[in-house]
Amino acid sequence: MQSVHGGDLVRAANRLGVSSDQLLDASASLVPFTPRLSWRTLQNGLRDYPDRSHSCVRQALSAIHHLDPQWVLPGNGAAELFTWAARDASVLGLNVSASPCFADYQRALACWDSSLNEFPLWLQWDGEFPQRFAAPPQGSVLWICNPHNPTGQLWSRESLEPLLHQFDLVICDEAFLSLVPDGEVQSLIPLVADHSNLVVVRSLTKLYAIAGLRLGYALAHPDRLARWASWRDPWPVNGLALAAADQLLSSSERYQKWCKRVHHWVEQEGAWMQERLSELPGIAPMPSAVNFFLIRGEQSLVSLRERVERHHGLLLRDCRSFEGLGENWLRIGLQDRRGNRRILKALKQELR
């Protein structure tokens, strides 16, 4: 069955007849280290109902991004927030996005009987980031991912800002931007206060490797976020996730220190890994600004992905679910040095 998302460890373990801790999941793009959290503090999020206003997390995120808390809305992962963005987008007209693109935008629009019209990205680029985003076709709503998933390209804020005058609504997915060294200078968050048609969606799960907690947030005009909040379930963000966020975001200094550690890893380990992937026969890693590599094969890579999974317990991202890609593409999530060596060893053996 074709994969539509990375990170499906349980399903893969059942398929292979092993325990999930025997697998290395390079199909999901998370940092390979996790922060220390106080279990005693986390327990406070278990007994009581969660704070429906998310006041502490909103306050912390607003301090980090220099916005008033009413411009911030935490969500049950970025996916939940895409659903509400899609509800707004579905009534505005033609929705467009660059292809290949993250399949969840299409999923979110389908919830409201709408769809996404995709225009092709040029799948050849150099490693000089940031890049200029090519002018998209006409439409009412633009969905854009920066840095781009799955290619790893990084667009400049300068090239994106004019789009706010072209579209009725711009939904910018910055789920990976906090992992990019010097990436914040390309963020559209500083433009939110002056553009009521801009929504920026972020994820904390990738930055902190806490995907199981499901924690993302949107930054947009307070009227829009208040409308979204009126549509939601009473407690969309669970108490454990909120308690973890209270610790992780306890100060802007702590957040920046963590980001600095992540940036060092992406910069150092990413350059090391790309150089060694480039030495392997039959595949080519595309330049990436972030913590994953889109791999192009000279021929179908489906069998390669299946062999490294079956023989080495290594999960790579099947890219056939990305419109515009096919069997000749894989995505590999960056690991720590030990994990990256395991990936390289497996690929060397299977590419002979």
DSSP state of 323: B
Whole-number pLDDT of residue 135: 86
Residues 67 and 192 grouped into a single domain: yes
Are 217 and 284 part of one and the same domain? no
Structure token digits, residue 58: 């909103």
Burial 253-274 (b: 16+ CB within 10 A, else e): eebeebbeebbebbeebbeebb
Torsion angle of the four alpha carbons 68, 69, 74, 79, in this order, in degrees rounded to the nearest 10:
-20
Position 3 in a domain: no
- Tell which of 193, 216, 250 closes a domain: 250
* Contact call for residues 74 and 56 (beta carbons, < 8 A): no
What is the C-alpha to C-alpha distance for residues 266 and 269, in angstroms, rounded to an integer? 6
Give domain status of residue 4, yes or no. no
Cα(174)–Cα(214) distance, rounded to whole angstroms?
16
Q: Is residue 2 part of a domain?
A: no
Dist CA 243 CA 245 (whole Å)? 5
**Domain end position, chosen among 250, 265, 292:** 250
- The number of domains in the chain is 2
Same domain, 48 and 103: yes
**Quick one: 312 and 204 in the same domain?**
no
Q: Are 268 and 132 in a shared domain?
A: no
3-class secondary-structure state, position 128:
coil
Verify that 293 and 216 share a domain, yes or no: no
Measure the CA dihedral 247/229/202/163, to 10°.
-150
Token readout for 207 is 């930055």
| pLDDT per residue rounded down to tens, the chain (352 residues) | 344 556 677 787 788 778 778 899 999 999 999 998 888 878 878 888 899 999 999 999 999 999 999 999 999 999 999 999 999 999 999 999 999 999 999 999 999 999 999 999 989 999 899 999 988 999 999 999 999 999 999 999 999 999 999 999 999 999 999 999 999 999 999 999 999 999 999 999 999 999 999 999 999 999 999 999 999 999 999 999 999 999 999 999 999 999 999 999 999 999 999 999 999 999 999 999 999 999 999 999 999 999 999 999 999 999 998 888 999 999 999 999 999 999 999 999 999 8
Contacting residues for 254 by C-beta, under 8 A, at least 6 apart: 248
In this structure, the answer to whether residues 327 and 215 fall within a common structural domain is no
230 lies in some domain:
yes
The answer to whether residue 65 is domain-embedded is yes
- If residue 317 lies in a helix (H) or strand (E), which one and from where to where? strand 317-318
Check if the beta carbon of residue 136 is closer than 8 Å to that of residue 96.
yes
Which helix (H) or strand (E) segment holds residue 114: the answer is none
Max CA separation in the chain (angstroms): 58
1 within a domain of the structure (yes/no): no
Mark whether 292 and 146 lie in a shared domain.
Answer: no
Answer yes or no: do 284 and 319 share one domain. Answer: yes
Look up the CATH number of the domain holding residue 265. Answer: 3.90.1150.10
Q: The whole model's pTM is what?
A: 0.94
Whole-number pLDDT of residue 94: 98
- Looking at the fold, whether 48 and 97 belong to one and the same domain comes out as yes
Q: At what angle do helices 239-248 and 55-65 cross, to 10 degrees?
A: 40
Q: Would you state the pLDDT for residue 201?
A: 98
Q: What pLDDT is stored for residue 268 in this prediction?
A: 97
**SS3 helix, strand, coil % of the chain, rounded to 5?**
45, 15, 40
Surface-to-core class of residue 85, CB atoms within 10 Å of its CB (0-12 exposed, 13-18 middle, 19+ buried): buried
Mark whether 270 and 235 lie in a shared domain.
no
Amino acid (one-letter) located at 25: D
Domain encompassing residue 82: 39-250
Determine the pLDDT at residue 1. Answer: 35
